[in-house]
Structure formats: structure tokens, C-alpha cells
Structure 1
Amino acid sequence: MNKNILAIAIAAATFGTQAVAVELYNNDGTTFSMGGHVTAALAGGEERDTTVEAVSPRINVTATQDMGNGFTIDARGEWSLNFLENGGNSFSTRLGYIGLTHEEMGRGVIGTQWAPFYDVASLTDMPIAFANDFLYDGMYGGDFALSGQTRADQMISYRNGFDFGDAGALDFGLGWQGKNDGDFADYNDRVQIALSYSIMGAKVGYAYSTGDVTESNNKRSLDFHAVSAAYGSYGNGLYLAALYQMTEDENVTDIDAYELIAAYALANSLNLSINYETVESQDKNASKETDREEMALQAEYNFTSNVVGFGGYQFDLEGDDDRFMIGARVYL
């Protein structure tokens, strides 16, 4: 198994610009750590009032235990934070899983987790302010956790990889979700596979997710394909990435979505980026329409290792709903 992937898996690293955790306990093969971040921003636009918004804040705890014979078990709980409003629910679940990892035999995880599909689709989902929105739109009211595109509810997954030295590394992942009832549709058993190959700082990947969905007693197939490519490491010099996702909703709508990002981080940690996103849909026997087309200019700066300032301006290329966001992220 690729040892770099193994280390990331055990640490349960959060996808994004930075992952910080404080180790509170480490003794006799057992560790316990806490992490997360609080992020707030001033946000507004041409068609929306300027307000203070939370930007995906969360808190998490992770425990690991050396089981011997090369096996390590880990458990993570992660919750989103409601810190800008009085009352209401202070926490809601983002992640909750148990994983078992072996250097040679790979890694299995059960629970609410980042899906193998997202291993491929995440390459463009990097900036804090404006990133890959269509992954979280879902097909029906934002049911991305039920369709398994990003964080996947009630999933069993398996990952492994092969390191070929100078010839690169091949990684793969498999995932299964049982039946889940959504707010607008019901999802039957879903399976997915993800493949990626890395060499000399470049990475390419393909992911496929399939299963049936039932809406108003109409059962049909709902499939996702994702193809991605990237070069470099986000936040470290030049980073280029592209993602194409095709959604096939049998007898209803096909959707093509694209995300492109180019970023360059200076030696002083100032990271400048530009990203482009478009979503096109086509109903059966109808012409293709552009649902959304946006471009954003963004900047992020590490004041310290735990404090990041960020700002961005997103241009609505289909209308006049330009948006801006400026704020700070404090890692716990």
C-alpha cells in the first residue's frame, strides 16, 4: 500500500487548504487528537445583502490504536458548528466513522465519511471562499451525502494502492451505501469505484458511482462519472487542476459540470488563484442549457500556521449576481 496514502488515512486529514490537529494524548500505541476550525466572513453581492457568514466551521476528534500485527484502528467524529446564531442546534454531524488500516492489506472504513468518489473529485475543491459548488448541489435538494459524491452517509469503503517508485503510484477505492431516504427522493443501494495515478507531481483520476433513485414512485438509474487531473500541491508553488463530472439521470436530465483552477503560492504564503465553474443540463429531447457559469479571483494568506485570511470576488458570467467574500479562518 502507498505509505503516503496510509499516513493520510490514519490521520483522517480534512480536505482543503490546511489540516491542523492538536495531539492531546499519545501513549503505548494510543493517540487522541482534536482539530477543526472556526471560519467567518463578510459576504455580499449585487443581488444579496452584505452579511456575516460562517464558512463551513467544524470541530473533530480522532483516536487511533495500534492493534499489533501491522493493524491500526482509528475513529473520528466531526461536527459542524453553529457559532453565529443564538439558540438552535450547536452541532450537526459531518463525519463519524471507524477505520481499520494495514500497510499491505489496505484500509476499510464504516460510517459517514469522505467517499472514494471525492478522492478524485476533490482536486479542484480547494479555495476557502469560492470552490466546487456543483459537488454539493446534489440532484434533489442537496442530497450529496446520499448520492456519495463528497461526504457519504452510512458508507462502507475500501482503499488500497501500489507504489511503483519512479514509475508512479496507483490508488483505488471502492464504496457501498445501503438504502437511504432523502427529503425529495429515496436512494437505493449505491456502489462506486475510484482510480487515480500519480507520477512526477501530476495526478489523474476517474470515479464512477451508480444506483437507483425513486421519486414519486418513479424508479430510475442515477449515475455519476468524474474525471480529474492536477499538477503540483495547492498552497505550495504552482497548482493546476481540472474536473469534469457527468451526471446521467435516466429518462430525466443529463448534466455536464466543469471546474478549472490555477493557483500560485508565493514564498511568503500568499496564495493567488483563479477558478472557473460551469454547469450545463439537458432534458431528454431538449437542447442543452447553461444553468450556471462563474469565475472567481481569490487570495489566501497565512498570518500564522493557524490563522488564514482570505478574500475572493466571483463573477456571474450568466447574469449580474456577482459576489464577494472576505474573512478569516482560525484552526483549532
Structure 2
Amino acid sequence: MNKNILAIAIAAATFGTQAVAVEVYNNDGTTFAIGGHVTAALAGGEERDTTVEAVSPRINMTATQDMGNGFTIDARGEWSLNFLENGGNSFSTRLGYIGLTHEEMGRAVIGTQWAPFYDVASLTDMPIAFANDFLYDGMYGGDFALTGQTRADQMISYRNGFDFAEAGSLNFGLAWQGKNDNTSEELIGTDANGDLVYKEVGAEFDDRIQLAVSYSIMGAQLGYAYSTGDVTESNNTRSLDFHAVSAAYGSYGNGLYLAALYQMTEDKNVTDIDAYELIAAYALANSLNLSINYETVESQEKNKAKETDREEMALQAEYNFTSNVVGFGGYQFDLEGDDDRFMIGARVYL
């Protein structure tokens, strides 16, 4: 694991995805930083009222410590913010982990974290307003964290990378999640004796493992990720597998950026899902970033024809007024119906 890859790993732990952090302490190998962002937008559409919405605001704190002999340990906590409504929970956990990084031995992380699967799947998840919805839709109660496609609960991961100079670089990641129960009881009525009758909803996830590998050369990147494990719903246990293949060229926010993602979900004996995301973006010298993205999700139940569940295209723009203030706007066309949507707002990095 070369020093450049090590630097990227530490930066990701300290500053996070698409974020800026303020380092408030740095002394004798110990650092402490606070970051995150507050994002609000005016959003609406043909099938929904116009409202003011929060767009994934969060606050995070990260500490690092040089352990000597090439080892650096870091701890991070990140919480989503409820800043537009009175009452309710002000914070909920997004990330919480401890990581250990070494120049040669790689990086290990334990806790709630961005999964290796997302290392591959994130290449199209870039615009603020409209991006990879299918990665966050989740299944069986909508809890994507239990399947580990993006942020993953209770995960242990390991990453490493190899730099071949002009021949490019190879990175890989491995991860494991323990058993998670996402079931609850739902009241459905009463029986003949007048007693309340409940049914179990949600699902129970057995151990899950995942693998991610990517290769980068001359500004281009190609990656593959795989996640597998059993899921039990209504006493029916079956395998739930995810495959993701992605490719990208360039750097988002810096000139031309092109990326594509294909994700295949194999849910044995139930429903297979194919999802695609494409994005093309170009950032001008004045920091105005223009993009167009396309997303579609197709599903196929056993012994039935394939159906298109969602098909959308969005035109978007982002502009950096300063290094930590971004204005954004977008219009998303519903290609399967008439639920076109718009969003315009601002993001202020802490």
C-alpha cells in the first residue's frame, strides 16, 4: 500500500465524502477535526407540493493518532441533523467507526461505515439534488444499511491498494456484517375470539460478506463489487446477492466527468432487479458544474415478464460561490409518468 493510497484513506476518514472539515487540534501526532454540512432546498413537482427540505445535512467529528511504526488510528462519528423542524430527534447516527491504517498493511475499519461495495457503486452518486436513488431505496423495510450497499451497520472491513506507477493502480476491499434483525409486529385485526392478531413484517439478515476491486489508469477507473448473504422474510429464507460494475473517466467537479453503474440484485425465487445509472458532467473554469444523469430500475418476478419500475433523467447545475458554499439546482424528468420534480438550494460546509 503506497503512501499516496494511504493519504487518500486518511483523508477519507478525516474529511468524508464531498465534505470539508476544520482541523481544530494538531499536536504531537494527534489531530481533531469537525466537519459536515447544512443543506436546504426548495423542492416540488407535478405530483407533490412545493416545500422546504433538508438535503442530507450532517455533522461529524474525527480524531487521528500516529501510533508509530507506520500505523495511524482514527475514530469518526457522524450524525444527520434535524434543523428544519421543531421537536423530534435532533441527531441520528450516520457513521461511527474506528480505523487502523498502515502504509504497507492496508486499512481495517470496524463500525458503521461506508462499505467497500460503495467504493465501486459511488462513481455515479455525485450530484447534490438527484443521483443514485436505487442505492438508498433499500429492501425489506427500506434499511439499505443492513445490506451494506452504501453505509453499512456493524461492519468489519479491510482495504489495500497497489500502485504500479504508469501501469495504473489496483485497489480492493473485503467486508463482513453480522446477523441483523429488522423485523417487527404489525396489527392486522382480531381473531374469532376477539384477540388481537399480529403478523411479522420486515426481514432478518444473516451474516453478509462482500468484495470490491477496482483498477485505475490514466484518469479512467473500472470496478466490480459483490455482496452476498441470506435473508429471512415470513419464515422464508433465501439468498440475497448484489453485483455492481462501474466505470468512470475524469474527476467530478474538474473538467469532463463520465461514469456508469450497473447493479444486479439476485433474490432467489422472488424478484431479480437490474438498475442502471449514467452521468456526464462538465465543470467550467469558473466552477460552474453542469451535468445530466439517467437512471432506470427494472424488476422481474419469477415466471413473469420484466417490468420497468422507474426511469428518470435529470439536468443539474452546481456552482461554488466560495470553497465551502455551493448553490445547486436540478430538474428531474419522470420518463415513466408525470411526476417531474425540481430542486434548488444551497449547501454550506462546516
TM-score, with length taken from structure 1? 0.98
- Judge which range, 13-22 or 260-269, deviates more: 13-22
Q: Who is 1:106 aligned against?
A: 106
Cα deviation, residue 143, structure 1: 1.6
Cα deviation, residue 13, structure 1: 5.2
Cα deviation, residue 11, structure 1: 2.5
Q: Deviations over 1:189-215 (max 9, x none)?
A: 000000000000000000000000000
Q: Deviations over 1:29-54 (max 9, x none)?
A: 00000000000000000000000000
Whole-Å separation in 2 of the counterparts to 1:14 and 1:76: 8
> 1:17–1:92: structure 2 CA closer, same or farther, 3 Å change rule?
closer
- Judge which range, 152-161 or 136-145, deviates more: 136-145
Whole-Å separation in 1 of the counterparts to 2:15 and 2:230: 28
Whether the aligned pair in 2 keeps the contact of 1:212 and 1:221 (CA below 8 Å) is yes
Whole-Å separation in 2 of the counterparts to 1:14 and 1:270: 26
The structure 1 segments of at least 4 consecutive aligned residues displaced by more than 6 Å after TM superposition are 14-17
Q: Deviations over 1:163-202 (max 9, x none)?
A: 000000000000000000199x110000000000000000
Cα deviation, residue 8, structure 1: 2.4
- From 295, 317, 329, the equivalent of 1:299 is 317
Whether the aligned pair in 2 keeps the contact of 1:190 and 1:212 (CA below 8 Å) is yes
Cα deviation, residue 141, structure 1: 2.5
> 1:8–1:193: structure 2 CA closer, same or farther, 3 Å change rule?
same
> 1:225–1:217: structure 2 CA closer, same or farther, 3 Å change rule?
same
> Alignment partner of 1:14: what SS?
helix
Whole-Å separation in 1 of the counterparts to 2:142 and 2:347: 25
Whole-Å separation in 1 of the counterparts to 2:151 and 2:178: 15
> 1:233–1:159: structure 2 CA closer, same or farther, 3 Å change rule?
same
Cα deviation, residue 152, structure 1: 0.3
Cα deviation, residue 139, structure 1: 1.7
Whole-Å separation in 1 of the counterparts to 2:6 and 2:123: 18
> Alignment partner of 1:12: what SS?
helix
Whether the aligned pair in 2 keeps the contact of 1:16 and 1:126 (CA below 8 Å) is no
Whether the aligned pair in 1 keeps the contact of 2:13 and 2:74 (CA below 8 Å) is no
Q: Deviations over 1:5-29 (max 9, x none)?
A: 3222223358987320000000000
> Alignment partner of 2:14: what SS?
coil
Whole-Å separation in 2 of the counterparts to 1:58 and 1:172: 28
Q: Who is 1:196 aligned against?
A: 214
Whole-Å separation in 2 of the counterparts to 1:264 and 1:27: 40
Number of residues paired by the alignment? 331
Whether the aligned pair in 2 keeps the contact of 1:302 and 1:309 (CA below 8 Å) is yes
- Judge which range, 73-82 or 174-183, deviates more: 174-183
> Alignment partner of 2:136: what SS?
helix
> 1:199–1:126: structure 2 CA closer, same or farther, 3 Å change rule?
same
Whether the aligned pair in 2 keeps the contact of 1:38 and 1:57 (CA below 8 Å) is yes
Whether the aligned pair in 1 keeps the contact of 2:39 and 2:55 (CA below 8 Å) is yes
Whole-Å separation in 2 of the counterparts to 1:287 and 1:273: 33
Whether the aligned pair in 1 keeps the contact of 2:73 and 2:98 (CA below 8 Å) is yes
TM-score, with length taken from structure 2? 0.93
> 1:41–1:15: structure 2 CA closer, same or farther, 3 Å change rule?
farther
Whether the aligned pair in 2 keeps the contact of 1:45 and 1:324 (CA below 8 Å) is yes
Whole-Å separation in 2 of the counterparts to 1:174 and 1:59: 27
Whole-Å separation in 2 of the counterparts to 1:103 and 1:283: 47
Whole-Å separation in 1 of the counterparts to 2:279 and 2:5: 23
> Alignment partner of 1:122: what SS?
helix
1:265-276 alignment runs, 5 A limit: 265-276=283-294
> 1:14–1:241: structure 2 CA closer, same or farther, 3 Å change rule?
farther
Identity of aligned residues (%): 93
Unpaired segments ≥5 residues, structure 2: 182-193, 196-202
> 1:235–1:317: structure 2 CA closer, same or farther, 3 Å change rule?
same
- Judge which range, 10-19 or 289-298, deviates more: 10-19
Whole-Å separation in 2 of the counterparts to 1:11 and 1:17: 9
Cα deviation, residue 138, structure 1: 1.2
Whether the aligned pair in 2 keeps the contact of 1:17 and 1:234 (CA below 8 Å) is no
> Alignment partner of 1:282: what SS?
strand
Cα deviation, residue 140, structure 1: 1.6
Whether the aligned pair in 2 keeps the contact of 1:17 and 1:235 (CA below 8 Å) is no
Q: Who is 1:119 aligned against?
A: 119
Whether the aligned pair in 1 keeps the contact of 2:13 and 2:62 (CA below 8 Å) is no
Cα deviation, residue 222, structure 1: 0.1
